[in-house]
């Protein structure tokens, strides 16, 4: 069954676009960049930069969660009848997007390295694709939160009885 992208809600459209952009930016090698500056008092000039993509360390789990969130939004938007009604799917997408975004951001901001060694300084931090990935992942989380709010789904009740738990 083909569905029209324009017929989707604005939040579903935004989540799908943000998710695709996040996935795209995750493959660029500037997610975390290490820059080396040789300083002026060295006999040779050492200025270089190297980076990695978002598919390493804990960011891999974050990207997989972002991918799950986008898949849930896409299935809910294009083939909702194939999902069971007893599961709050928008909440699942929100949880996956939120946790994935948190892991991706934390991994980039806590990357090992950096410091100075005499006149040589090394700085490690997010590169241009890392910052764009942060924006896309945050946008995905916001759009899934708005879609959850608009859907009318409720948080599952943990304790359905009014009885307090036994001590």
14-23, 94-103, 104-113, 121-130: least confident range: 121-130
* pLDDT of 88 above 80: yes
The domains of the chain are located at 15-149
Cα separations in angstroms, 95 against 29, 72, 83, 102, 114 = 27, 11, 17, 11, 32
Q: Which comes out higher in pLDDT, residue 158 or 91?
A: 91
What is the pLDDT of the chain when averaged over all its residues?
A: 85
* Residues forming a β-bridge with 34: 50, 124
pLDDT of the residue at 1: 46
Mean pLDDT score, 53-63 = 91
35-44, 67-76, 91-100, 124-133: least confident range: 35-44
Query: What confidence tens digit (pLDDT) does each residue in 66-81 have?
Result: 999 999 999 998 887 8
Predicted TM-score (pTM) of the model is 0.82
């Amino acid at each position: 069954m083909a569905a029209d992208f324009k017929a989707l809600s604005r939040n579903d459209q935004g989540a799908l676009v943000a998710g695709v952009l996040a996935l795209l930016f995750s493959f660029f090698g500037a997610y975390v960049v290490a820059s080396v500056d040789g300083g002026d008092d060295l006999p040779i000039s050492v200025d270089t930069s190297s980076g990695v993509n978002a598919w390493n360390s804990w960011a891999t789990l974050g990207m997989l969660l972002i991918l799950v969130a986008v898949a849930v939004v896409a299935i809910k938007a294009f083939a909702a009848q194939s999902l069971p009604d007893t599961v709050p799917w928008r909440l699942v997408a929100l949880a996956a997007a939120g946790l994935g975004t948190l892991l991706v951001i934390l991994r980039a901001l806590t990357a090992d390295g950096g410091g100075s060694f005499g006149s040589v300084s090394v700085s490690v931090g997010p590169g241009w694709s890392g910052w764009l990935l942060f924006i896309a992942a945050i946008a995905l989380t916001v759009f899934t939160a708005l879609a959850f709010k608009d859907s009318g789904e409720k948080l599952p009740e943990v304790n359905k009885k009014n009885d307090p738990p036994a001590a």
